[in-house]
Amino acid sequence: MANVFHQRLDELDELLVDMARRVGEAIEHASAALLAIDTEAAAAIVAADEDLNALQFRVDDRIVELMTRYEPVATDLRFILAAVRISVDLERMGDLAKHVAKSVLLRAPAPAIPDSLREDFAGMGQAAVRISEKLVRVLAERDQMEATQLGLDDDVLDALQQRVHDQIPDLGYGPQVAVDAALLARFFERFGDHAVRISHQVVYLVTGDVHLDRS
Amino acid sequence: MANVFHQRLDELDELLVDMARRVGEAIEHASAALLAIDTEAAAAIVAADEDLNALQFRVDDRIVELMTRYEPVATDLRFILAAVRISVDLERMGDLAKHVAKSVLLRAPAPAIPDSLREDFAGMGQAAVRISEKLVRVLAERDQMEATQLGLDDDVLDALQQRVHDQIPDLGYGPQVAVDAALLARFFERFGDHAVRISHQVVYLVTGDVHLDRS
């Protein structure tokens, strides 16, 4: 019984890792589509978000099954509750990648970001991809060091968002361009925040230290 | 045993209702502070967000206690899992009210929104307050009709956000004003989205119908 339970628990873990991988792919492709004005890729990201939502339903089903069929002890229970929250954050990260893709579709054939901000957005895309890669390892290996490193990449994302905001008053473009840039920068910044929240949940599972990001 | 369990479960319900009430007060005061450039009120909202976070910790503790001490059956379990997600959404709604308050502090003594958008933002504040009031009733009474009505107020919020966005190209103010307005409109819109998600969770509890908002 205990073995079957832990096998099912491992599968829950794998579902979360799978979600994190897909979220990483989504933000990677969304960032590339943003820079290349690639509407085909953008449309594919929007469509793929459905698969991510379906995965979250599978996570939910697995959680209910684990809790009703077995009687998880405190440690396993802590993991299951964390899994509920982690899947919410992962689903939201997928939404944010989708928002980036939708901005591409909305403005095409024009670019959604002005030329002068291309470099900053390329940097945000790269930081978001690094964060996703680390998030997969944090979830798969419960690696605390990776959680710390992920936090540093999130700092990069925050700094780049600030850079974009600082440039907005002097961009020399219309207000629509400024708003697009500000919202897109916010999507990337929120993407990082959710990853940090997840990594704190995992660190809490490993160490018991409450270090939740509720700012 | 069962009675004690259900009493503890009711207390969990009350904690969520308490969170929803405070979130409602926060968005009401934040909307008023936004229109009146009331930095004192804005600072109080930022400070009060800590109480909300503390309440979420109490919800978490209660959930772990309920699940380890008692062995909840499927129906109760469904409620407990929903409570995990609901508290995440409520905490996020509190954050969004705090973001509105912080915008007031950032731009004061200037207004964070231009005069020409005052009416739209007043409307968004009113819709957000109506949503919060309905949310309290949805949570306290598991009232499905209120959940439907709440959805209509959320439509109002979405329409007002769209109105703000449509006016942005012709506002005649600088890009910073446009960005502030777009972000503030987004905070209100997200506030509504989280309330809708919560009400769907409650409807799911009552009817078993999956109608989760994962768009």
The three-state secondary structure class of A209 is coil
Mean pLDDT of B160-182: 89
User: What residue in B sits closest to A180 (Cα-Cα)?
Assistant: B179
Is pLDDT above 50 for A213? no
Question: How far apart, in Å, are the Cα atoms of B115 and each of B102, B110, B112, B165, B211?
Answer: 19, 11, 10, 15, 39
Assign 3-class secondary structure to chain B: CHHHHHHHHHHHHHHHHHHHHHHHHHHHHHHHHHHHCCHHHHHHHHHHHHHHHHHHHHHHHHHHHHHHHCCCCHHHHHHHHHHHHHHHHHHHHHHHHHHHHHHHHHHCCCCCCCHHHHHHHHHHHHHHHHHHHHHHHHHHHCCHHHHHHHHHHHHHHHHHHHHHHHHHHHCCCCHHHHHHHHHHHHHHHHHHHHHHHHHHHHHHHHHCCCCCCCC
Chain B residues interacting with chain A (CB cutoff of 8 angstroms): 53, 56-57, 60, 63-64, 67-68, 71-74, 77-78, 81, 84-85, 88, 91, 95, 165, 168-169, 171, 173-179, 182-183, 186, 210, 214-215
**pLDDT score of A141:** 92
Q: Report the share of chain B in percent with pLDDT over 70.
A: 95
Contact assessment for residue B34 and residue B112, using Cβ atoms and an 8 Å cutoff: yes
Q: Which residues contact B199 (CB under 8 A, 6 or more apart)?
A: B134, B135, B138, B146, B147, B150, B151
Averaged pLDDT for residues B177-193: 95
Q: What's the CA dihedral at A156, A162, A164, A166 to 10 degrees?
A: -150
Q: d(Cα B192, Cα B198) in Å, to the nearest integer?
A: 10
Confidence at residue A93, expressed as pLDDT on a 0 to 100 scale: 97
Q: What is the pLDDT of residues A21-45, one digit of tens each?
A: 999 999 999 999 999 999 999 999 9
State the CB neighbour count (10 A cutoff) for residue B154.
24
pLDDT at res. A78: 80
B173 vs B14, more confident: B14
Please report the pLDDT score of residue B70 as a whole number: 79
Rounded to two decimals, the ipTM of the complex is 0.83
CA distance B83 to B66: 12
Instruction: Categorize the per-residue pLDDT at B16 as very low, low, confident or very high, splitting at 50, 70 and 90.
Output: very high
Structure tokens at B101: 């308050």
Tell me what the pLDDT averaged over chain A comes to: 90
User: Which residue in A67, A71, A176 is closest to B169 by CB distance?
Assistant: A176
* pLDDT tens, residue by residue, B48-97: 999 998 998 889 888 888 887 877 777 788 888 889 889 999 999 999 99
- Considering only CB atoms, which chain A residues are within 8 Å of B47? none
Mutate one of A90, A107, A197, A214 to test the B interface: name it (highest B CB count within 10 A).
A214
- pLDDT of A7 reads 87
Average pLDDT score over residue span B187-195:
97
Per residue in B115-133, pLDDT (tens digit) is 999 999 999 999 999 999 9
pLDDT at position B213, please? Answer: 44
**Residue contact B182–A177, C-beta within 8 A:** no
Task: Give pLDDT tens digits for A47-96.
Answer: 999 999 899 888 988 888 888 787 777 778 888 888 988 999 999 999 99
Looking at residue A111, the DSSP 8-state letter turns out to be -
Map out the domains of chain A with their CATH numbers.
2-207 (1.20.58.220)
C-alpha triplet A162, B192, B146: angle, nearest 5°: 170
